[in-house]
Structure 1
């Protein structure tokens, strides 16, 4: 059961990487870039991010602080650019702060305290730990009303997708 849920979420996460390509408008000379006012989208997205960080801080100040320290520096510097190297660096950092990678990094940090034969063993144990925790988080949501799964599904992922779309915008 854990594998089904984790692979389903991984498929959803991988498909969400293609959102900018799926919603791009076809216009002559634009290629596959998104065409809209990226400054307005970034302003609204940063306001949304600050609003959800404030809301999370009312329930769990340490989680809000952790998310703010990780997300804010990267999301503030994201903007469309014509310089390919800068674009790829932005995309790399956005992928590092994506919800799936954040969950995996948290699993690696949690699994690091145990004894492992080598680095690959640490990664394999972290992967299985992450799958188990995703499954348990979903169970906690339905049985006990926990809000962590809802937070990552309905708040952090859409916010990250908006910044991912900003990185794929065209500049004129």
Structure 2
């Protein structure tokens, strides 16, 4: 366990190791099956989710339980932009991040007034309200069945600046 911890600490501290890891992922992804790449993508998304909670609780000392709501805002925004307006994923994701950031900014005003367990309760309430909105607003979100017809991003189908990725 100590060797793993030492390796992970070195990985975080050294940008060259990070660049090597990203390069290995980019070069190795086309050699893997699409299912393996999709599972790896889900693992990386979960890692981002976990790291956001770690950043907030570990460094800031605040407990927030509304992360799923912000992830959901970004996901539904991306899906709606790609499906309804035919935007490319490379344009939809930054716009979704911006919208989720605006939602977080709006939630920050009442969040400034509370601390500790009350912040956790407030953000949990935000997540629950978001879930209910998604569940009940069938015409926009698809309800419990999700947003149908969103094309799945796959390897060699995404084009960034004219280069297939």
TM-score by length of 2: 0.33
Higher relative contact order (CA 8 A, sep 6+): 1
> Which of 1 and 2 has greater Rg?
2
TM-score by length of 1: 0.33
